[in-house]
Structure 1
Amino acid sequence: MDGHSVVGAGTVPPSASHSPISPVFRRGSIKRKRSTGGLDSSPGSGIGDEDTPGGEPEKKRQPGVKRACNECRQQKLRCDVVQEPFQSCSRCNRLKLECKIESNFKRIGKRSKHAEMEKEIERLRRNISQAKAQGYVMDEDEDLQSQLQSPVANSAYSHTRNPSLMGSDEAVTSLLTLKRGGSYSMAATHYAYELEQVRLTEQDVHGLFHEFFAYYHPFLPFLNPEQSPDLYYQQHALLFWSIVAIASRRYQAKPNVLQELSSGPLNRLLWNTVGDVPNSYFVIKALCLLCTWPLPTSTSTADPTHILGGVMMKAATGIGLHRPNHTQDFSRVSVQLNKDQLHDRVTTWAVCNIVAQSIGTGYGQPASTLYDWTLAIRPGEDGPFTLSPELEARLRVERFCDKVSKEMYSNASDPRGVAGDEHRAMLMRVYRREYQELQASILSQNLSPVVNVHLKAAAVHLRLAGFFDSSTTPGYMDDLMGLWRAVLAFLDLLLEKNNQHILVYATNYLQQMLVAAGFALLKLMRSFFAKTIDFERGRRLFHETIQAIRATSILDNDLQWRLAELMVQMWNGARLENGHHDEDDDAFRIDDSLQLKVRCRHSMSLVYDSIWRWREEYQAQGRASSTTHLDSTLMPPQQNIAQGLINANGGLTPTANHGLNPGPNSMIGIGYNSDANYDFFDPQHWMLDGLLDFNYNGLHHIETM
C-alpha cells in the first residue's frame, strides 16, 4: 500500500512526524477518541490530554475522578478533585473556596454577572445617598445581607466568594445599613426612575406621560399611547427621559422637572448616547422629539437642534429606516419584520423627514431630508407603507416647503444661493397654484387644527420670498400684498381662541414661524406699504403677536422671551422715530427699503436681517429704547394673552421666577407696566453672540415712552 493510502486510513506516515502540519492529525485523533470513548469529562479535568504513539492515552484516568468541581468548571480550569472519597481540589483549598460537584451546574457568563451585580450595587448606592439626604444615620456594624437583602449575596451567584467576581471592595463596603432614630427604616418615598439627581415616582411618571400624550403627541403622532412608561424606559432611557422632559414644560404638578433635566442630566445622557454611535431604532425616536421640542436656551448659538437633526437623519439611514423592507442589508444578522413593525418603521422614517424639514425651514438652513420611494404617495393603497391621514398631510406640506427652499434659495449661480428676480417671480406663480391645490386637498379632509396651522405656516414660508424682490420686480406690490394676507391668515388661526392649546404646547418650528410673522408685520407697517393696508388692524395684531411669543416662553430669559423683548423695542423705536404715517402726504413712493441685507438664511433671512437692522439703526447710535411697554390702548382690560391661556393643569405662568441663570442685562421680571429701564442686549447671551459687540457706554441716554 502506498503512502497516500496509509494516510487515508488514518495512519501518519514517517515523514509526517517532522511536518509542521502533523499536530492537525494528532488533534483529530484526540477528538475521535473522546467522541467514541463515552467518557464524561470536562475541560481541564486531565482526561485524555496526552497520546502515546499507538493512539492510546499515556495516563489512564485516576479512580474516583469524574468531573471538575463547580468553581473550576466556572473558570474552565484543570481540576484535581477526588469524588470518592471526596477531597477538595488544590485550587479551592488554596483560595478557600467551597469545593463541590453538582450535576445540574451551569456556567454563568462573567460579563452578564458583573453587569447585573454592578447595577444592583449602583441602585443601593443611590438609595443610601437618598437616605442620607433625608437624615438617616448609617451603621456599618449591622449585617448587610439581613438588612438590605442584596441580590448580590442571595442570588444564584452565591456559589462563589471570589472577590474578583463580587465587584470592587469599595462598592461592597459602600452598601451600608440605613438607620434612623435607632431603628432601621427605608426611605418613605420610593423613586422608580432616576437620572442623576432627577428622581421620579411612578405616580409622577404616569402623570407626565399622560400630559405628553394628551397635549404634545398630537403635534407628532407616531408613538404608541397604550404602551407603558416602563416599556419606553426598557426600549431606551433617552426616549423615556425625552418624553418626560417635553411633558414637564407646562406640568404644574411637578414644575421643577424641566429645569432639573435641562441643567445637565439630560444633555449628558443625550451626548453620551450620540457619542456611542447610536444604532438603536428608539434613539432615533428620541431625537425626533428633542428636535421638535428642544431644551430651553437663551441663545441660538447654544442651540444644538440643527446638529441633532443631522445626527437623527444619518442614524436613521445608518440602520436602514429608509429601506424598511431590506433592513438586513444594514444589519449583521437577518431581520424579519412583521406588518406592524414595518409600519412603525415607515411611520418613524416619515416623522424623521417631517422634523428635518421643519428644522431646515425654521433655522433657514438646507434640510437634510430624503423623500424617496418609501415615502411616495400611494393613493388608494392600504398597507404597512400607508401613513395616517394626519402624518400624510403633514408630509405633503413639508414636501411643499422643501420645493420652495430648494428652488428659491439654491441657485448655484448666485453666491448667496438666491434665485434671480425673474426666475423667482416665475416660481412664485407656479407655487401659488400648487399651494392652492394642496390647501384645497387638505382642507377637504377635515383634519386637526394642527395640520391647518402648518399649512398656513407653509404659505408664510413661500410668501416671505417677497422681501427678496426689488421695487422693479414684476408684480412687486402683489407679492407684498400676498405676504401680508398670508401672515394675517397664519396669525389669525394660531391666535384663535379655540386654538390656544396649539400656542401653549407649540413646537419649536411654530414658535419660529410666529416670530417670523411678527417681524414681517413690523417691517411692512414701518414702510411705504403701510398706506395700502389696514394699519390699525396690523397694529393690534402685532401686539397680540408679542403677547403670544411671550406665552410660548417656558422659562424666563429663554430665546422666545428675549425675542419678544427685542420686538417691543423695535416697535417703540420705529414709532418714536417715524411716528404714525402722515395722512396728508399724498406722495406715495415705492422704494427698495423692504429689501433684505441678510439673504443667506432662506425665508428666515427676515428675522436675522431685522436684528441686524436694529443694531445698526439704534444700538450703534446709542438711541435704543429698552422700554418693554406696549401701547396702553391695546392692552386687555385686566389680563394679557399669556394669563388667559388656561390649560388642564390649572394655568399657564410663563413669567415664573425661574429660568436660565439670567445676567444683569436680562429682562426678567419686567412686565408691561414696569417703569424700570434696562440694557437689554448682553453680547455673551444673544442669538448672534459672536457678531454683536455693543458699546454700552453710549447707552446712558435712554429714550422713554
Structure 2
Amino acid sequence: MEREIDLLRRNIQRAKAQGFVFDDEDQLQSPVASSYSHTRNPSLMGSDEAVSSLLHLKRGGGGSYSIPRVTHELDTVRLTDEAVNQLFSEYFTFYHPFLPFLNPAQPPDQYEAQHPLLFWSIIAVAARRYRPNPTLLTTLSGPLMHLLWTTIGEVPTSYFVVKALCLLCSWPLPTSTTSSDPTHILCGVMTKTATMIGLHRPNHSQDFSRVSVELNREQLHDRITTWAVCNIVAQNIGTAYGQPASTLYDWTLATKSSGDGDQVNLSPELEARVQIERFCDKVSKEMYSNASDPRGVAGDEHRAMLMRVYRRDFAELQAPILSQQLGPVVNLHLRAAGLHLRLAGFFDSSTTPGYMDDLMGLWRATTAFLDELLEVEKVTSPPETARGSILLYATNYIQQMLVAAGFALLKLLRSFFAKTIDFERGRTLFHQTIQAIRATSVAHNDLQSRLAELMVQMWNGARVGAVPDSDYDMTDESPIQIDDSLQLKVRCRHSMSLVFDSIWRWREEYQALGRGTLDALKQPTNPDSANESSASSSHLDSTLIPPHGLHGNTTSGGNTSGGNNGMLGPANGGGLTPVPSGLSAPVSSAPSMMGGMGYGGETNYDFFDPQHWMLDGLVDFTYNFAPPLEGA
C-alpha cells in the first residue's frame, strides 16, 4: 500500500509538470490527495480519489474506507484489538476461576510483552468456546504448537513460559490420538523449567541466574503463586492420566505465615488447592508405588491399612476447606480427591477385610463428586443460557474424573453391589453423568463423546442381551452373592486403571463380538435403550479397529458436509495397523473445531499414552491440521 502511494505521488508530480492546476482549498487539505479542477489530460482524472482512499487506509481512519486493523499475528492467525480484548474477557470470565493465578487487570499487550507463548496460550484457551469465531482454535493450533516447540527447543529461561505451560496442560489443544497428546511431556517440561530457573526457591533466585536478581514483594508473590499452580497442574495431570506426578511439595509450599511481615502467602483458594493435591500425591505414592510388586500396587492388607489412615486424613482436610466456603471449584476438586482415594476399592478382592464397606465408601465418594458437579452446573447454567456452564470450561482433569465417576457407577450398578444401594437413584445419576460427559465434548466424535457412547452401550449390554433392571429388585431378600467380578485386570494406571480396564472390557466383551459400535455417535444412544434396534450394532466397530480410506467433503469455509456425518470407514479386517482416516462431522452443541482438518498418520503405541492405545485412531486430527489430499 505504501509503495502504491509513493507511485501515485510520483504520478501527481508528473501531472503537475503537464499543467494540472490545484485548487487552493484542496492543496491545504492534502498536498498529495488533492483534487484537480482543470486538466489537459482527462485520462488521469480520478487518481486523486485513489490517493485519498489509500492515505485514509494507511492512517487507520474510519468512514467508508475503514477496515479492521490487525494488531496481533501468529503465522496465518491475525487478530484485531477488539477480538483480543473479547478473548481475554472470555478467558478471565470462564476459565480463570479454575486456575486463578494470572492478573485480570493486566492488559493483553503486557502479556504479549512478557512472552508471546503466554499471550497466545491465553488466546487458545479462550478460543475453545469462542462464538464469534468458532474455527479460531482450529486455525491457531498449528502455529501455536510450532511456537511452543520452538520455545522449548531454545531452552526457556522465563517463568512466563511456565505460566503458558500451566494453561496448555490444563486445557490441552485438541488431538484425537492419545499417542500424539503431548500433555504428559509438556507437564514434565513445565516442572523442569520451573526448577531450572529457581521458582521453587523464589527467595534465592540469584542462585539460578548468572546475574544478580532482586525481587520486590509483588514479583516474589507472583513467582510463589506460579510455583504453586505448577504443582497443582502437575498433580492433576498425574492423577488424571494415571502416571507418577512430577511435583515438589517442599519448604516454599509448606511454609505458613508466622507473623513475619515479609512472608508471602497464597490466596485461600490456591492454598486449599495445594493441600488437596498434596493429599492426592500421598494417595498415589503410597497406594500405587509398592517396590515389591511388579505393577506397583500395595498389597491387600497394606492397602486396607492405608485406606483407614487416609480416610481420617481426608476428613481432617475436608472440614476446614468446606468451612471456608471457598467456592464451587475448590469444593469440586476436594470431591475429586475423595474419589481418587476411594477408586482403590476396585483393587480389592472379595476376601479383603471390609470389602463391602470399601465399595460403599466408593459409592458415596462417586455420588458426592457427581452431585457436587451437577449441582454447580444447575446453579451456574440456568435454562435460558449455557454460557455459565462449568462443564463447558472444565479442565482436562475434571473431565477425566467425570469419566472415571461414570465408569464407577456403571461397574457398581451392573454388579452384585446394586442390591445394597438405591438402584433407581444410581440409574438417574448415570444418565445425568452421560449428559455431562457429552457436554464437555468440544467436537463431535472426540474422545469424550466416544467414551460416553461406549459407556452407554456397556450399560445397555451393547444393545444385545441387556440385563434388565428387574434383576436388581430391591425387595429381593436373598443373600448377596459376593464375587470378584469388580476386580480390575488393568492395574498399572493408579486410580485411572478403572477407565482403561473398562475400555478393554468393552472391546473384548462387546465390540470384538460385533455387539458394540461407535457409529451411533451420529445419533448418540440413550441409556436403557437395549430393546431398540440398531443396524450399526451388528458389525465390528470401525473406529477402534482402524479404518482405511478418507471420507467426507469439506467446504471452502472450513465446515464439514457430506452424507457421512462423522462416520468413519469400514473395518480393515481386524488388523491393528492404523491407516489414514478422515472425518466429516459437524459440531453438535459446541463450536466447530474440526471443520476442514486433515487426518491420518502413523500411530505409535507406547506406555505413556494418557488415554491408552485402545482409543488411538478414534478421531485422527493432529496439530498440523493438514488438509486431506484431493482424490484420496
Task: Sort the TM-score into its range (normalised by shorter chain).
Answer: 0.7 to 0.9
Aligned-residue offset at 1:502: 2.2
Q: Is the 8 A contact 1:526 1:574 kept in 2?
A: no
- Supply the AA of the counterpart residue of 1:578: V
Query: Any idea what SS the aligned residue of 2:73 has?
Result: strand
2:398 is the counterpart of 1:506? no
Aligned pair count reads 495
Match of 1:609 in 2: 501
Q: Which residue of 2 aligns with 1:218?
A: 97
* Residue 192 (str. 1) matches residue 71 (str. 2): yes
1:265 to 134, 143, 150: 143
TM-score, normalising length: structure 2? 0.73
Matched with 1:638 is none
Structure 1 position 300, deviation (Å): 1.9
Is structure 2 residue 349 aligned with structure 1 residue 466? no
Aligned mates of 1:693, 1:579 — CA distance in 2: 33
Give 2:525's aligned residue: 629
* 2:86 alignment counterpart: 207
Q: Establish whether residue 245 from structure 1 lines up as the match of residue 245 from structure 2.
A: no
Report how far residue 621 of structure 1 moved.
1.6
- Does residue 440 of the first structure (1) align with residue 329 of the second (2)? no
Letter in structure 1 aligned against 2:86: G
Please name the residue that 1:295 is paired with.
173
Instruction: Work out whether residues 297 and 559 of structure 1, in 8 Å CA contact, stay in contact via their aligned partners in 2.
Output: no
Distance of aligned partners of 1:690 and 1:473 in 2 relative to their CA distance in 1, 3 Å threshold: closer
| More relative contact order, 1 or 2 (CA 8 Å, 6+ apart) | 2
Counterpart of 2:526 in structure 1: which amino acid? L
Q: Determine what percentage of the aligned residue pairs are the same residue.
A: 67
Distance 1:554 1:243 in 2: 17
- 2:225–2:266 CA contact under 8 A, matched in 1: yes
Question: 8 Å contact 2:283–2:341 — kept in the other structure?
Answer: yes
Does the aligned pair in 1 maintain the 2:125–2:171 contact within 8 Å?
Answer: yes
- TM-score normalized by the length of structure 1: 0.66
1:664 — aligned with what?
A: 568
User: Cα distance, 1:569 vs. partner?
Assistant: 2.1
Pair 1:526–1:372, CA change in 2 (3 A): same
User: 1:257: how far off?
Assistant: 1.5
Q: d(CA) in 1 for partners of 2:338 and 2:344?
A: 11
Equivalent residue for 1:386? 265
Aligned-residue offset at 1:139: 8.8
- Which residue is 1:317 aligned to? 195
- Deviation of 1:141 after TM superposition, in Å, equals 5.0
**Pairing of 1:419-458 with structure 2 (within 5 A):** 419-458=298-337
Q: Deviations over 1:621-648 (max 9, x none)?
A: 22225443214799xxxxxxxxxxxxxx
1:409 and 2:288 aligned: yes
SS in 1 for 2:212: coil
* 1:348-394 deviations in Å (ceiling 9; x for gaps): 10110000000000000000000111111415546443110000000
Distance (whole Å) between structure 1 residues aligned to residue 340 and residue 422 of structure 2: 22
Contact between 1:313 and 1:368, CA under 8 Å: does it hold in 2?
A: yes
Residues 514, 545 of structure 1: 8 Å contact kept? yes
Residue 546 (structure 1) aligns with = 434
Question: How far apart, in 1, do the equivalents of 2:350 and 2:456 lie?
Answer: 28
Aligned to 2:254: 376
Would the alpha carbon gap of residues 181 and 422 (structure 1) be closer, same or farther in structure 2, given more than 3 Å must change? farther
Opposite residue 139 of structure 2, the aligned amino acid is E
> For 2:306 and 2:353, how far apart are their aligned partners in 1?
13
Separation in 2 of the partners of 1:373 and 1:322?
Answer: 9
Partner deviation per Cα, 1:173-211 (whole Å, 9 max, x = no partner): xxxxxx999556237221111111111110111111111
Cα distance in 2 for residues equivalent to 1:657 and 1:562: 21
Asked if the contact 2:413/2:423 (under 8 Å) is kept, the reply is yes
Cα distance change on mapping 1:330 and 1:494 into 2, 3 Å? same
> Quick one: which amino acid aligns to residue 182 of structure 2?
P
1:365, 1:602 within 8 Å by CA — same for their partners in 2? yes
The residue type paired with residue 147 of structure 2 is L
**Local SS of the residue matching 2:138:** helix
Which of residues 466, 475, 493 is equivalent to 1:577? 466
Amino acid at match of 1:249: R
| Equivalent residue letter for 2:379 | N
Say if 1:298 and 1:397 are closer, same or farther in 2 by CA, change over 3 A: same
Q: Contact 1:249–1:554 at 8 Å: present in 2 too? A: yes
Q: Distance in 2 between matches of 1:536 and 1:200?
A: 51
Alpha carbons 2:127, 2:134 under 8 Å: kept? yes
Deviation of 1:577 after TM superposition, in Å, equals: 3.3
Kindly tell me: are residues 574 and 555 of structure 1, through their superposed partners in 2, closer, same or farther at Cα, counting changes over 3 Å? closer
Query: What are the equivalent positions in structure 2 for 1:305-344 lying under 5 Å apart?
Result: 305-344=183-222
Instruction: Tell me by how many angstroms 1:567 deviates.
Output: 1.5
Structure 1 regions of 5+ residues with no counterpart? Answer: 1-126, 129-136, 147-178, 635-655, 673-681, 695-705
**Alpha-carbon shift at residue 600 of structure 1 (Å):** 0.4
Task: State whether structure 2 residue 164 is matched by structure 1 residue 276.
Answer: no
Q: C-alpha distance in 2, partners of 1:379/1:596?
A: 44
1:515 equivalent in alignment to 2:403: yes
Equivalences for residues 62-77 of structure 1 within 5 A? none
Contact 2:257/2:265, CA 8 A, preserved across alignment = no
CA separation in 2, counterparts of 1:624 and 1:218? 39
Q: Is the 8 A contact 1:390 1:451 kept in 2?
A: yes
* Distance of aligned partners of 1:363 and 1:691 in 2 relative to their CA distance in 1, 3 Å threshold: closer
Amino acid of the structure 1 residue aligned with 2:467: N
Label 1:412 to 1:581 Cα distance change in 2 as closer, same or farther (>3 A).
farther
Q: Which amino acid counterpart does residue 181 of structure 2 have in structure 1?
A: D
Answer yes or no: is the 8 Å Cα contact 1:236–1:282 preserved in 2: yes
1:396 aligned residue: 275
Counterpart for residue 224 of structure 2:
346
Q: What is the match of residue 445 of structure 2?
A: 557
CA RMSD of aligned residues (A): 3.0
Q: Distance in 2 between matches of 1:181 and 1:608?
A: 68
1:618 paired to 2:510: yes
- 1:645-656 maps to which residues of 2 (within 5 A)? none
